[in-house]
Every structure is written in C-alpha cells, then in structure tokens.
Chain A
C-alpha cells in the first residue's frame, strides 16, 4: 500500500471487525517535531498481550478465510524504515489503540494520500459507528497556530434521521465537506512550498 490513508482504512476495518461502536482516527502532521503521527482508537473487543504480539508477526491473523495477515506488519516496517514506530495498546473488553509515527521529512515516507476518500468510504459503509476524524497540521513556524479539521459522526447521523448516507445529495454534501475541510488545513502549507 502506497498511502498512509490506505493503511488507516485497513486498520479501521480491523476496528469494525472487532465490534467497535466508537472509532477515532487522528492524523497529526507536526512540522515542529518533524513527525507524522496517526492514532486509531477503538472500543472493540480488544486483544490480550499474547495476541498483540502475534499481530505484529506477519504469520498471524484472526481472520478465518486465510491465515496470513500483513496489514499491520507492513505498516510497522514502513514506519521503522522512516525512523518511526508502530505501537499497539490493547486490553480485552476495553479496546485497542494503534499509534504509528513516521519522520515527516524522511525520503522514504509514503504520502498521506487521499484522506478524504478514506473517511467518506468508512462513513458510508458503516454509518452507525460513532466516527471521530481529526486532521491537524502544526506548522514549523512556532508563531503560526495549528490548523485542524474535525468530524464527529453523531450530529450528522442525528440530522439525517435515518436517511441513507448513500443518497446522491447527501454523498455530494459529505464529499465536499471532507474535501474542503482537508483542503483548508493543507492550503497554507502548499502555498509556502510552492
């Protein structure tokens, strides 16, 4: 997988499979610390320490259709190549938190990619989950304030009151909401780089 946002989609699918009702995905581009950090937090069924250790191992998966799971090990390896790390904290019955860090400026760091598509896919496919998405950029210039985009599913779902997320007008609304929101966070940085 060539985008961090694809890995986030992959990990979020694990959270859904673990029966989570609340899932947070937070992405932080911290230029002050030269760090790209992503956090996925869920309240799914969790894992014991033995299972966590096995998840890191490429030849472990809880899936029944095939016996090899590669999502997490591949992401961990990609992060470590970029002076980063992947850590999993989990407890049975409570949930799981995965933190993955990349050195932002590392030449081998994969791009964040299409974060908006990842978020919209998850929302449309699993509208009943209480999603919380956050994307923050902290500029290297300490005088500049951090820029942040957040989305909480519950108020949206309440406003829709049973109307499907995949209705054309609602889809258009969501797509624009995410594309514009993420673009607003990225924009000033792009201008500086160009």
Chain B
C-alpha cells in the first residue's frame, strides 16, 4: 500500500522535475563519471559519489547525468572523477575526496571553471 502511494508521489516529483528542467537547462548536458572499480571503491569512491549526489540534491542542480565506470588504470590516483561539459573535452580529476568533490561541483560543474589543482593527465 505504501509502495503505491510512494509511486504516485514519485510521479508528481517527476512532473515537477521535468518542468524545472525545461526552464533551467538549454540542453547541453553535463556528465559526471565516478570510477567505481575495486581500486576506486577501496579508496573511497562511494563517499565521493554520495557527496556529488548530495550536492545535486541540496543545491538543486538539474540536468546532470551521473554515471560510473570501472578501473581506468590509474589506481594510485583514485578516487577518480571525470566531468564532461557539453562539447568540451573530458576532464579527469584524481584524489577526489568528498571535500574536493564539493569544490569540483561548485567551480567546474556550476561555475564552468576547471579545478586545475586536481586535474590529472590521462594518457
């Protein structure tokens, strides 16, 4: 019974979310990718992920796609987070603690400015 009630509630939230998205985003997607291989998880990637989701929720950031990937071969730099803004090239960050994740969300995802201190070279 509660499940049905909660699904109705979810549908209502969906309508609100879609309305808000129409207003807020011009269609250029932002993608945030958290590396969640064994090495990433052991280094704290789940807390990093939780912080990113928490930032989206508390700062009401609409239109961001959050996904996960496996080990990308830079285990010593974990937790690793990648940010893709529209057509710009992918930016890879290393040693992304929850504090650094907040900084990346504020300065890069919201502010559009790459956080150079934590950027790593991938290749």
Asked if A160 CB lies within 8 Å of chain B CBs, one says yes
Determine the distance from Cα of A66 to Cα of B82 in the docked complex, in whole angstroms. Answer: 20
B57 touches A171 (CB 8 A): yes
Q: How large is the interface on B (under 10, 10 to 19, 20 to 34, 35 or more residues)?
A: 35 or more
Do A173 and B46 contact each other (CB < 8 Å), given the known contacts A124-B53, A166-B56, A167-B62?
no
Asked if B110 CB lies within 8 Å of chain A CBs, one says no
A156 touches B36 (CB 8 A): no
Give every chain A residue within 8 A of B7 (Cβ-Cβ). Answer: 155-156, 159
B71 touches A117 (CB 8 A): no
A66 touches B56 (CB 8 A): no
Q: How large is the interface on A (under 10, 10 to 19, 20 to 34, 35 or more residues)?
A: 35 or more
Look across to chain B and name the residue whose beta carbon is closest to the beta carbon of A118: B46
Give every chain B residue within 8 A of A17 (Cβ-Cβ). Answer: 70
Which one, A6-14, A37-45, A133-141, is touching chain B?
A: A6-14
Asked if B41 CB lies within 8 Å of chain A CBs, one says yes
B71 touches A164 (CB 8 A): no
Interface class of chain B by DSSP: helix
B9 touches A121 (CB 8 A): no
Give every chain B residue within 8 A of A121 (Cβ-Cβ). Answer: 34, 36, 46, 49-50, 53, 68
Contacts beyond the supplied A166-B53, A177-B6: 18 A-B pairs with Cβ under 8 Å = A1-B41, A6-B41, A6-B42, A9-B36, A13-B70, A117-B46, A120-B53, A121-B68, A125-B36, A155-B3, A156-B7, A159-B10, A160-B14, A164-B65, A167-B21, A167-B62, A168-B62, A169-B16
Q: Which residues of A contact B (CB under 8 A)?
A: 1, 6, 9-10, 13, 17, 63, 65-66, 69-71, 114, 117-118, 120-121, 124-126, 155-156, 159-161, 163-164, 166-173, 175, 177
